Structure 1
Amino acid sequence: MSEPPAVPDPREMRVSNADREHVAQVLNDAMAEGRLTVEELEERLDKVYAAKVFRDLEPLVRDLPVGGQAPQLPVPAAASPAPVASARIGGRGTSSAAVAVMSGAVRKGMWTVPPTFTSFAFWGGVQIDLTDARFEDPETTIQAYALMGGVEIFVPDDIVVQVNGVGFMGAFDNKVENQSQPRPGAPIVKVNGLAFWGGVEVKRRKRKKEKRQIEE
């Protein structure tokens, strides 16, 4: 899983007009106290209003005590990492298996997937749809077994998928392409198992909300 983006240095963050006015006031007070000449004040104010990041403001007040203490620049707190995508994680698993023997089995809609889920299809078909599912744990393992049958697994775009199944006289087909930099905290789904004279297929399906946004 990709590391979260690096936290930027606060001194490299952009300054606002209010930040510039704060430093300008410090300089004006210093001139009134006789610490700066008018020429020095004008020279520093030019640099204040041309400043783009907090690093540009630091040398302009570094030698100017205010009230007997060093002046305090309005340096912002370090930027927080991207919020963890935890909306899908939590709750107790509502179903731990899907078995289809000469029949069919479906798990879809609003349901909670346990840490390990087993699917077994023998002369039948199993469909597992994770589009609107929640996950009990951040990492989930789906064991998919297809013996002369088929297992279809649908996953949405906000889930990281790792497929490691084996096809023997059958197909264990991974049609999922993960994001190069998945969102920190995204659920991880590992699909393992065996396809023997049958097929297991893992593919993407957009969530209904995403479909509506595309259509609009």
Structure 2
Amino acid sequence: MTDDAPELRASDADRERVAETLRDALAEGRLDMAEFEERLDATYKARTYGELAPITRDLPVAGGVPAAPAVSLHKEPAEPGSWASRITGGEGSSSWAVAVMSGFQRKGRWTVPKRFSCFSFWGGGEIDLREANFADREVEINCIAIMGGAQVIVPPGVEVVVRGIGIMGGFDHREEGVPGEPGAPRVIVTGFAFWGGVAVERKLTKAERLLQKEQRRQEKLDRRTERRELQSSRHEEMRDRWERHWDRQEERMEQHRQRHEERWEQHRERREQRRDRRGHRDY
């Protein structure tokens, strides 16, 4: 940690490095569970280097060496398509939506603000986060649905928390409790539903579904090829068995023919001997 730049914003990678140091300290017995949870919560809430600095200042790393700077001013570029690349900071591209006897959509490439609000009355709306970027690691979507509804679609890997209230309506809690992937944003769905509902679904994007379909198709082709190769090997084995069988049959027939010829030759010789003996007696 550099003390000359305490106000610089920390990245998710910085917070993960601090969290890893805390996990090592917990495993070594340097922190108890209460201290670990308190410091870990402070880690994920920290926004600047100055807020991260005190969290691991009194902790060594493995081997008892004093802890090195937990964060670095040298930022590595986020891998394209990773969660880090999708948490962009700043303001959202849209912060509210209204549907009165109509509908609205927020989908595709857009930036979800820290708080997005929507209202639907005799209508409905769709808030699709599958291809969206996020202004913060934790965003809140507040939905008010009166005789209407709203659908929130999140990609796999995102943690979902539902805190809405429904009166003669409801909020969908099915996606709660699914742990998020490391570095993934956290989506909190709040609001109120009266004679309406707010649904939360976890779906793949169209490109991901096509990729998954292509993978299943390729796996099916691979299995079919394996079956054909197995059948071919079995057919080859059966053919070899038949060939060995006919070879044995031909060998047995040849042996039988030879024995028959030998017996016939012996019989012919005995006849000649008897004929010779009869001729000798005549003289």
TM normalised by structure 2 equals 0.46
Match of 2:123 in 1: 124
Any stretches of 5+ residues in structure 2 without a counterpart? Answer: 1-18, 25-78, 216-283
Structure 2 residue matching 1:157: 3-state secondary structure: coil
Aligned mates of 1:175, 1:87 — CA distance in 2: 28
- Are the aligned partners of 1:159 and 1:188 in contact in 2 as well (CA < 8 Å)? yes
Provide closer, same or farther for how the CA distance between residues 197 and 4 of structure 1 changes in structure 2, counting only shifts above 3 A.
farther
Match of 1:143 in 2: 142
Greater than 6 Å deviation, 4+ residue runs: none
Deviation of 1:132 after TM superposition, in Å, equals: 0.4
Deviation of 1:154 after TM superposition, in Å, equals: 0.5
**Structure with greater Cα Rg:** 2
Aligned mates of 1:208, 1:178 — CA distance in 2: 25
**Paired residues for 1:102-117 under 5 Å:** 102-117=101-116
Deviation of 1:109 after TM superposition, in Å, equals: 0.6
- Are the aligned partners of 1:175 and 1:201 in contact in 2 as well (CA < 8 Å)? no
Deviation of 1:192 after TM superposition, in Å, equals: 0.3
Percent sequence identity is 48
Structure 2 residue matching 1:174: 3-state secondary structure: coil
Match of 2:189 in 1: 191
More helix by share: 2
Question: 1:163 corresponds to which letter in structure 2?
Answer: V
> What are the Cα deviations for residues 187-209 of structure 1, in whole angstroms up to 9, with x where unaligned?
01100001101111111111234
Q: Note if 1:87 corresponds to 2:85.
A: yes
Match of 1:99 in 2: 98
Q: Note if 1:206 corresponds to 2:188.
A: no
Aligned mates of 2:85, 2:166 — CA distance in 1: 34
Deviation of 1:92 after TM superposition, in Å, equals: 3.1
Q: Note if 1:159 corresponds to 2:158.
A: yes
Structure 1 residue matching 2:175: 3-state secondary structure: coil
Deviation of 1:178 after TM superposition, in Å, equals: 4.7
Deviation of 1:177 after TM superposition, in Å, equals: 4.8
Match of 1:78 in 2: none
- Are the aligned partners of 1:4 and 1:184 in contact in 2 as well (CA < 8 Å)? no
- RMSD, aligned CA: 2.5
Deviation of 1:101 after TM superposition, in Å, equals: 0.6
Aligned mates of 1:160, 1:206 — CA distance in 2: 15
Deviation of 1:86 after TM superposition, in Å, equals: 0.8
> What are the Cα deviations for residues 87-129 of structure 1, in whole angstroms up to 9, with x where unaligned?
2100531100110011111111110011000011001111111
Any stretches of 5+ residues in structure 1 without a counterpart? Answer: 8-82
Task: Work out the number of aligned pairs and report it.
Answer: 140
Match of 2:69 in 1: none
TM normalised by structure 1 equals 0.59
Provide closer, same or farther for how the CA distance between residues 4 and 131 of structure 1 changes in structure 2, counting only shifts above 3 A.
farther
Deviation of 1:212 after TM superposition, in Å, equals: 2.8
> What are the Cα deviations for residues 113-163 of structure 1, in whole angstroms up to 9, with x where unaligned?
110000110011111111101001111000011001111111110211111
